[in-house]
Structure 1
Amino acid sequence: MHVHDETGAQTGGETGPLARALVGGSTDALAEIYRRWSSLVHTIVLRSLGDAADAEDVTQQVFVSAWNSRHTFRPEQGSIQAWLVGITRHRVADLRTQRYRNHRNLQAVALESAATPTVTDDAEWAQRLLLVRELEMMGDPRAAVIRMAFLEDRSHDDIAETLGLPLGTVKSHIRRGLLHLRQRLQEVERVSP
């Protein structure tokens, strides 16, 4: 149900007070908004990206973005749900753009490595190729986080700020990514002569 205020603008019915509380900085309002709409946001992201881990990360990013940009939300211009869907679409588009850039960068690194015969040991060469391939398969934002942390030697805080991710998410991506890469390298070593 929508009601109109004294200016005739639509206020969004029962979510009007919730929206105003969020804009005013209420963390309780944010928690209630998360409770009501996180499953919607997660479903949109999962359907758009097709990856459960990415869906969880992007869902978290959407609500962090909502909190950080709460001062820009105008309850009289639209519903909380529509605002969250808009943020979600932007975050999905950002991730897709980031994936494309990282894929392009990984291909450039692979081509550069192939053109530069600095690796003389076949096993080391195979490990480098495996690393490039695994990072490519890992997808973003995890691959971007690992590349920035280890190839660009950037701090966790810097990565979080650059990618717009919570610090805990960056650390989680690094931990999970390294475990995955270590496991894959061990698998290759076991089957190598």
Structure 2
Amino acid sequence: MSKRQNSKYKIDRRLGENIWGRPKSPVNRREYGPGQHGQRRKGKLSDYGLQLRAKQKLKGYYGDITEKQFKRAYQEADRMKGDTSQNLIGLLERRLDMVVYRAKFAPTIFAARQIVSHGHIRVNGVKCNIASRLIQPGDVVSLGNKAKEMALVIEAQSLPERDIPDYVSTDGNDKVTFTRVPTLDEVPYPVKMEPNLVVEFYSR
């Protein structure tokens, strides 16, 4: 499991956007970046800068996964038939930690990864602790018995700021089915994501 090396809200402030749509985000109060140079006026970004920023935003949204994992997802998307940017989003949405987050089993993507790694999640009835596992359409993801009573899970299910998307079908409070791989338009991002710029970044 990859360990997050810095505060997750620093990602928000560095990018200047509330990328998870959380009410606690410091961007809601301070729109400038972190650190002593955060309030400096920002210059116009180059094409490379725009591509890098799009990559950082998408990578940050999915729990700030490692560069190695993210690049591997891009390479896999590039090998697949069809639009590479759509394929990339599809692969990222199929990650087990993301399906757990979409199902509202966890309040944040970081908490979703922790719940998976601690063995609280079942895939088709079998315990799985690999957050990066790719879920197939038709797979059933459910909570383990202990997880059903966890305060973290109960809090997540009551969150008003996000809804469960159409491609994740619920069966009660503790079980969901991943019905299909979503397109970019179907994914409920709180901010605009530009996977086409990410593809440009890696295909330079």
Calculate the TM-score normalised by the size of structure 2.
0.26
What TM-score do the two structures reach when normalised by structure 1? Answer: 0.27
Structure 1 or 2, whichever has the larger Rg, is 1
Higher relative strand content: 2
